[in-house]
Amino acid sequence: VSKVEKLKRAVRARKAQSNWLRAPWINKKFN
């Protein structure tokens, strides 16, 4: 796997994670 591919994956993972944390259903689940 090239450095570019690793970077793209990292960015995608970070975006997915921040979207996941911002999701309203998460707050409902944990509150």
**Residue 17 CA, distance from chain mean position:** 2
Tell me the whole-structure pTM to 2 decimals: 0.50
Segments making up each domain of the chain, as ranges: 1-31
**Residue 5 CA, distance from chain mean position:** 16
Q: How far apart are the first and last CA of the chain?
A: 40
Asked whether the beta carbons of 2 and 9 are under 8 A apart, the reply is no
The residue to which tokens 């999701």 are assigned: 23
CB-based contacts of 26, cutoff 8 Å, min separation 6: 20
Asked whether the beta carbons of 19 and 13 are under 8 A apart, the reply is no
Question: Can you give the pLDDT at residue 8?
Answer: 94
Question: Can you give the pLDDT at residue 30?
Answer: 61
pLDDT tens digits, one per residue of 3-25: 999 999 999 988 888 877 777 76
Instruction: Identify the band that residue 1 occupies on the pLDDT scale cut at 50, 70 and 90.
Output: confident
